[in-house]
Structure 1
Amino acid sequence: MLVFRGFCGSRDFFRRSPAPTALGIGNFDGVHLGHQALLGRIKVAANTRSLSPAVLTFEPHPREFLAPHTAPTRLSTLREKLERIAGQGIERAYVCRFGAALAACPAENFVKDILVDRLRVAHLVVGDDFRFGAQRTGDIALLQRLGQQHGFTVETLSGVACAGERVSSSLVRQALEAGDMEAAAQLLGQPYAISGRIVPGRQLGRRLGVPTANIRVKHHKPPLSGVFAVEVDGLPAGRRTGVANLGLRPSLGGKMPPTLEVHLFDFSGDLYGAHICVRFLHKLRDEQVFASLDALRQQIAQDIVSAKHYFSH
């Protein structure tokens, strides 16, 4: 998938699309089942109309710019999001920097200057609750009128339901916060995962007899915390199971950035610099404070037993 990044207010915003597009617009945080349904419709429209399947997404999330103190926790980094979108068969992703210029852009200008002139949209796919333009004044009715004016068609999708509820990024966050990894996996179509590069740590796990791979977490505030049974992809030896701690490590003071530490079963070797994907399958417990390193060592041993029991069943 080709990725283009730019600023909507500048003259050189993206390269003009070389071919008319079947375009979807959204934040796509987590790329859950609802997003996947929309991406599937883009592919169908592109195939039947000989168009290029593409998406337009925003960085940062609009709410992070407009209301940073109340913005939701991200489910995925930009890299993770783009990787999952690419996995759905989309050929092009246009990443638009959301700032003051875009926030003030009138709905009609957004359609004419960006969708039509730059991205050459021929068919547009959006959710039935899609809003756009300054103050979110643009709605589906306006989009359809502008489509008739500029020569593109508009397709809207109703939400996808799971267990009687509309799938949304907020619903995924609720499941992760509650530690219900099985429910989160249903909403996402796969287990929740965090990707990152393995970096040197404080070697505490090694001193405790349980060496860990420390993954640099780029989520400012991960949507989950605790101790989990996990699968890890991206290793030279293939997929491995293990136990992971994600959080602030309160027994060590809790004042460091969020840290993801993974102890891999039946594995030894130097993994520094490797980029891996950690899939969270089952929550074992919350983070807790231990009175001593010996108490921490005993709990880690029990976590390993619990995780292995989970995988054996």
Structure 2
Amino acid sequence: MSTATTIKNSDTIAIGGFDGMHVGHQHLFRELGDNGCVVVIDSGYANITPKRNREKFTHYPIFYFTLEDIRHLDAAGFLEHLKEHFPKLKKIVVGYDFHFGKDRAYNYDDLKEMFEGEVLVIDEVKVNGESVHSRTIRKKLSHGDIKTANSLLGHNYSIHGELIKGQGIGAKELVATINLHVRDYILPKEGVYVTLTRIDNEEHFHPSVSFIGHRMSTDGTFAVETHLLDGQVQCSENATISFVDFIRENIKYDALDELKKQINKDINIAKRELKMLEL
């Protein structure tokens, strides 16, 4: 059965922006049953799981509405729009803070009043006492608080990019790295991170140390680069970096030998932490 047919036959949908596909979102998806579908209202500003990257974090089919195309609708118009795409619709699942329609004037109460089927509202979800929201995760990433961001996501925060040529200093005088050009994703705070890196579509991730920020000790340009701890890989087109923990701030060193000593310390920290994760 095609994805289009599966979506058309869905009788239960979860609606939201779903940037991050985080722990709170997963609570909605648990209510979808066997014939469920995730409906993304895409504002174009998603940067934790931009565009179709959301599809990596659910087995349910995803149908996309562009916000600009539906933001003018009132509650009745919105429901009619849903029924056109989901003629067998019996159940709608939304979060407690769900709003829709022109000026975000409508909420789940309007859905309950006008929809003849079931409207299930999922209450606020907390992890370690902290409310789970995409905006909170973005804030944690901007502060380099990777571990908390990952706990709210329910998975490691990851970015994907095209492999590009670096400045050429690493392999000769420091350590070899691969360099990425990253679009659409929010980047964590400048600094050095314990990471896992996947090259192209490999099934496994390589243990790695990654740097995000301006190369203050060399040419001052901005870079996203990663050093693979298990040796060189013949790189081709793209890579995915999965963040495990923050190691340190971005620091300027006056000499390359000082920078290399620090990089070796970073590598040892990453090896220890990743080794602990294997236990």
**How many pairs were matched up?**
274
Q: d(CA) in 2 for partners of 1:171 and 1:312?
A: 29
Say if 2:11 is the partner of 1:54: no
Question: Which one of 106, 120, 134 corresponds to residue 138 of structure 1?
Answer: 106
Q: How does 1:281-292 map to 2 (within 5 A)?
A: 281-292=244-255
The Cα of 1:31 is off from its aligned counterpart by 1.0
In structure 2, the residue matched to 1:11 is none
In structure 2, the partner of 1:69 is none
Amino acid at match of 1:305: N
Which sits farther off after the overlay, 200-209 or 185-194? 200-209
Matching residue within 205, 208, 212 for 1:239: 205
* Cross-structure match for 1:93: 62
Q: Give runs of aligned pairs for residues 217-236 of structure 1, distance below 5 A.
A: 217-219=182-184, 221-234=186-199, 236=202
Question: Moved runs in structure 1, 4+ residues, more than 6 A?
Answer: 1-4
1:91-121 CA distance string (max 9 Å, x none): x21222222x433222321211x21112333
Match of 1:28 among 18, 34, 50: 18
Post-superposition offset of 1:234: 4.8
CA contact under 8 A between 1:75 and 1:223: conserved in structure 2? no
The percent of aligned pairs where both chains have the same amino acid is 26
* Cα-to-partner distance string for 1:157-178 (whole Å, 9 max, x where unaligned): 0021111222111222233233
Q: What residue number does 2:119 align with?
A: 154
Cα-Cα RMSD = 2.7
22-31 or 204-213, which deviates more: 204-213
User: 2:233 and 2:265 mapped to 1: Cα distance?
Assistant: 23
| Structure 2 Cα separation of the partners of residues 22 and 294 of structure 1 | 60
Note the residue ranges of structure 1 that are not aligned, 5 or more in a row.
5-14, 65-72
Q: Which residue of 2 aligns with 1:75?
A: 48
CA separation of 1:237 and 1:109: change in aligned 2, threshold 3 A:
closer
Classify 1:129/1:220 alpha carbon distance in 2 versus 1 (closer, same or farther; 3 Å): closer
Question: Match of 2:226, as an amino acid?
Answer: V
How far apart are the structure 2 equivalents of 1:147 and 1:211? 58
* Equivalent residue runs for 1:285-304 within 5 Å: 285-304=248-267
One-letter identity of the residue aligned with 2:54: K
* C-alpha contact (below 8 Å) 2:143/2:188 kept by paired residues: no
- CA displacement 1:246-276 (0-9 Å, x = unmatched): 22334455554xx321100121231121x43
Q: Which residue of 2 aligns with 1:170?
A: 135
What's 2:227 paired with? 263
Residues 126 and 172 (structure 1 numbering): CA distance in 2 closer, same or farther, change over 3 Å? Answer: same
Q: Which moved more, 1:222-231 or 1:291-300?
A: 291-300
Q: Distance in 2 between matches of 1:237 and 1:37?
A: 27
Pairwise CA distance, 1:212 = 0.9
Judged with a 3 Å threshold, the aligned counterparts in structure 2 of structure 1 residues 189 and 288 are, in CA distance, closer, same or farther, namely same
Q: Deviation string for 1:56-82 (max 9, x for gaps)?
A: 213334xx4xxxxxxxx8222223222
Would you say the 8 A contact 2:10–2:36 is kept in 1? Answer: no
The yes-or-no answer on 1:309 pairing with 2:278 is no
